[in-house]
């Protein structure tokens, strides 16, 4: 196998996961993280795959690392909310869910409102 970038490995892992090959996907994400330990995309993908495999403690670890890299990412807070809910910590789940909503509203406020009739 030729030298692969962390991003290429994340993309390949995503495809593997979509094809139902969770073990291969997780292996590729591990490789991606060995190349780039700070890869938000790899950590977030790892958290989501581990979550779907019901490996909640490992998913939480990956998601928390990803959140420390991009604390203003809506999707990672949603992931954290889902993980905490499965782990039975409703308070933490609600805190991350609220943060995801706050970040979403913040993004909405950045967009200029469209005028009636679709004219800008």
Q: Is 85 in contact with 63 (CB distance < 8 Å)?
A: no
Q: Is 46 in contact with 29 (CB distance < 8 Å)?
A: yes
- Specify the fold of 6-109: 1.25.40
What whole-number distance in Å separates Cα of residue 109 and Cα of residue 107? Answer: 5
Q: What is the pLDDT at residue 117?
A: 60
Domain residue limits, the chain? 6-109
Q: Is residue 118 scored above 60 in pLDDT?
A: no
Please count the helices (runs of H) and the strands (runs of E) in the chain. Answer: 6, 0
pTM of the model: 0.83
Q: What is the pLDDT at residue 106?
A: 83
Would you say the C-alpha torsion 75, 73, 43, 40 has a positive or negative sign? positive
């Amino acid at each position: 196998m030729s030298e692969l970038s962390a991003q290429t490995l994340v993309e390949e892992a995503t495809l593997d996961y979509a094809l139902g090959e969770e073990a291969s996907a997780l292996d590729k994400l591990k490789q991606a993280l060995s190349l780039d330990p700070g890869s938000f995309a790899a950590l977030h993908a790892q958290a989501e795959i581990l979550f779907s495999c019901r490996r909640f403690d490992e998913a939480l670890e990956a998601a928390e690392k990803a959140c420390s890299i991009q604390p203003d990412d809506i999707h990672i807070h949603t992931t954290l909310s889902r993980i905490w809910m499965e782990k039975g910590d409703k308070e933490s789940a609600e805190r991350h869910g609220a943060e995801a909503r706050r970040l979403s509203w913040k993004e909405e406020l950045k967009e200029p409102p469209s005028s009636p009739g679709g004219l800008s």
